[in-house]
Each structure stands twice: as structure tokens, then as C-alpha cells.
Amino acid sequence: KVYSRYNQRLECILGSSQSNLSFTEVEEVRGKKEIQQLGIPPENPFICFHNRDSAFLNVLENDVDWSYHNFRDSSILNYIPAAEEMTKRGCYAVRLGAKVNEIVDSKNPKIIDYASNGMRTDFLDIYLSAKCKFILCSDTGMSFPAEVFKRPLVYVNWTVLLRLPVYALNGLIIFKKFYLKNEKRFLSFSELINLDFGGVNTNEIFSNLGLELIENTSEEIRAVTIEMDERLNGTWKTTEEDEELQQRFWALFGPDKLKSPDLRIGTEYLRSNKE
């Protein structure tokens, strides 16, 4: 019954490729002006990229220990090669965020560290997310505006398999690897699906199991970013084996788990992690 109700809602979400939010004429003028002020020429395509880190929650004025969220963290430095690649393909790359631990130190004028250059506004956060060619991000709330505005999304360093963004109209996902130090092996996807974590006791669970989380490499992130760009450009080519790997992965969730038909696991990631 839970799946039935969930799937009914999901069918409504996936039934429209258009967002039910839009900008006013005044907001459009403001947004285009502020994008140009960032250094992006009119009508030039751009992507957004963002990593989850501890900075945002750590500035909140309370005594809550937010460290149980840190399993979702990743370094922005591993996203830079993907951003560099997209600038070679004619796009600008805008790093989103409000409070961040790491600065993007790039000599490439097409890579804009909007999160730390002093030009960030709440309005532009939303406008950039709504107008980008696609967003490259981790498991973080910064993906929500792009999801609402039906933009394509590349999710990397994902962790909780049962919380996959099945509502994303057009998305690619790759995961962190979970390494069992005592057994000297990685958890399988099936084991990950059945691993219950994400609450305040997450650090304790990982410690008791001897689990170490391995971030996606810059090569993995670059590969899935290229795949999204080529899929959107109509130049990506898939194989029968690739389709079989996709089916084998999604079959792990059972026949009742509805998802967006255009939500896929990164092709190169699946090819490299069949085991």
C-alpha cells in the first residue's frame, strides 16, 4: 500500500516535463543581468556544480552535533576536472553554495566560484539552478531547485540507495564505495540496499561495522559528466551490455519500485563495478 500511494504521486510528478513554477518578466530581466555580471555571456550555456560539506550546518548557532551527516561529504577538488572538461565543450561552470570549506582555485576564467566570490544571492541560487544545462551535485539539498525546475542532474558520491532521486526527470547517478576494512572488500549493491543508516547513530554504525566510505574519483565524476553532456547532445552511444547492467541494477529494488525512465546509473561506473 505504501508503494502504491508513493507510485501514484510519482506518476503525477513524472507526467509533466514542464515545471509548475516560473519566473516573472522582472525576475527574468534581473536573472539575465546577474548571470552576465558573473562573467557569462548572454545565451552561453553553463553547468552548475556543488559538493556537500560540513560548513553549512556548522555555522548554525546551536549545540547540535551535525557530524552524523558527514558521510555525505566530498571534496570539491574532485569535481574540477569535470568542470574543466565542460569548459572545453563550450560551457561555463558555476560552483554553487552558501558556506563552503574549500575554495575553487582555478586559473580557468570559465570556472566561476560563485559560492565564495561575494556575488551570491538567494535569488541567483534559484535562477542559476533553473537555467543551467545540467547540475553536477552530491546528496544535498542544493539539488532541489534544479529538480523542481526539471533540469537534468548528475548525482555523484551518493550513499543511501533506498533514497535514490527516482523523481528526477533526467538524471545519472554514481555512488560512494563502502569498504569493509575487516573483510578487505567492498559491499555489494544488494548489501547496501539492506544497510540501515543515515540517522544520528550513523557514525556509530560505521564504526561498529568497520566501514570506510570511498569518494568518487575525479575520473569517475568526469566520466559521468561527459555521459550527461553527450546524452543531452544526442551523441551518446550505448550497448546491449550497458542496458543489461542497468536492468540488473534496478531489478535489485523489486518490481514495485517505480522510477523515472530517464534516471540511470552512470555507464562507466557500472562497467567498472560489475562485482
What are the tens digits of pLDDT across the range 193-215? 999 999 999 999 999 999 999 99
DSSP type of residue 89: T
Say how far apart CA 237 and CA 260 lie, in whole Å.
20
DSSP type of residue 216: P
Q: What mean pLDDT is reported for the chain? A: 94
- In terms of phi and psi (left: phi > 0; alpha: psi -120 to 50; beta: otherwise), the region of 193 is alpha
Say how far apart CA 178 and CA 192 lie, in whole Å.
8
What are the tens digits of pLDDT across the range 90-103? 999 999 998 888 99
Alpha helices in 156-211 (DSSP H): 189-193, 202-209
DSSP type of residue 169: S
* Residue of higher predicted confidence among 59 and 135: 135
Q: Provide the whole-model pTM.
A: 0.95
Residue 186 and residue 274 in contact, taking contact as beta carbons nearer than 8 Å: no
Q: In 138-194, where do the E strands start and end?
A: 153-158, 171-175, 177-180, 185-186
What are the tens digits of pLDDT across the range 244-254? 999 999 999 98
What are the tens digits of pLDDT across the range 48-93? 999 998 878 777 767 778 887 888 999 999 999 999 999 999 999 9
